[in-house]
Amino acid sequence: MNAPYPWQARQWQDLLRLSDRDRLGHALLFSGREGVGVADLALTFAHRTLCEGPSPDVRPCGKCRGCTLYQAGNHPDLKILAPVEEGKAIVIDQVRELAGFYALKSHYGRAKIVFICPADAMNPAAANALLKVLEEPPPGALLMLAAHRFSAISMTIRSRCIRVPCEQVDITMALPWLAKELPNFSPAALTRVLRQAGGAPLTARAIANSDRSELDSEIEAAFAGIQQGRTHALLQAKQFADVSLAELLRVLISLISRLILAKFGCRSIYDPADEPLEPGLQGLSDHLNLKHLYALLDLLFESKLLLSRQSGLREADIAEALWLGLGRASGRQGK
d(CA 2, CA 331): 47
Question: Could you tell me the smallest distance in angstroms from the CB atom of residue 69 to Zn ion?
Answer: 10
Please, which residue, 51 or 319, has the CB nearer to Zn ion? 51
Angle at 207 between CA 211 and CA 267, to 5 degrees: 130
Q: Which CB atom, from 78 or from 81, has the smaller least distance to Zn ion?
A: 78
Give the separation between CA 9 and CA 19, rounded to whole angstroms.
15
Residues between 45 and 74 with contacts to Zn ion, criterion CB under 5 A: 51, 53, 60-61, 64, 67
In the complex, minimum distance from the CB of residue 45 to Zn ion, in angstroms, rounded to a whole number: 13
Which run of H or E residues covers position 158?
helix 155-158
- Report, in Å, the least distance between residue 55 CB and Zn ion: 10
- CB closer to Zn ion out of 115 and 270: 115
Closest CA to 193 of 80, 31, 1, 35: 35
CB of 70 to Zn ion, least distance (A): 8
Q: Which of 100, 146, 93 is nearest to 121 (CA)?
A: 146
Nearer to Zn ion, 54 or 139 (CB): 54
Q: How many residues bind Zn ion (CB under 5 A)?
A: 6
The helix/strand/coil state of 163 is strand
What does residue 286 show for φ and ψ, rounded to 5 degrees? -65, -30
Give CA–CA dist 66/53, Å, rounded: 8
Closer by beta carbon to Zn ion, 49 or else 227: 49
Nearer to Zn ion, 64 or 243 (CB): 64
37-41-42 Cα angle (round to 5): 120
| Shortest distance in whole angstroms from residue 138 CB to Zn ion | 24
Question: Which residues face 113 on adjacent strands?
Answer: 78, 142
Residues 201, 215, 276, 245, CA torsion sign: negative
Which of 44-52, 91-99, 156-164, 168-176 is the region at the interface with Zn ion (rule: CB under 5 A)? 44-52
Least distance (Å) between residue 47 CB and Zn ion: 8
Residue 48: CB minimum distance to Zn ion, A: 8
Listed in sequence order, the residues at least 6 apart from 230 whose beta carbon sits closer than 8 Å to its beta carbon are: 224
Cβ-based nearer residue to Zn ion, 57 or 286: 57
Question: Please, which residues bridge with residue 141 across strands?
Answer: 112
Binding mask 244-283 for Zn ion (x = CB under 5 A): ----------------------------------------
Calpha distance 324→237 (Å, rounded): 8
Compute the least distance from the CB of residue 54 to Zn ion, in Å: 9
207 vs 228: CA distance, rounded Å: 28
One character per residue 13-32, x = contact with Zn ion (rule: CB under 5 A): --------------------
* 202 touches Zn ion (CB under 5 A): no
Is the CB of 65 or the CB of 212 nearer to Zn ion?
65
**Binding interface with Zn ion (CB under 5 A):** 51, 53, 60-61, 64, 67
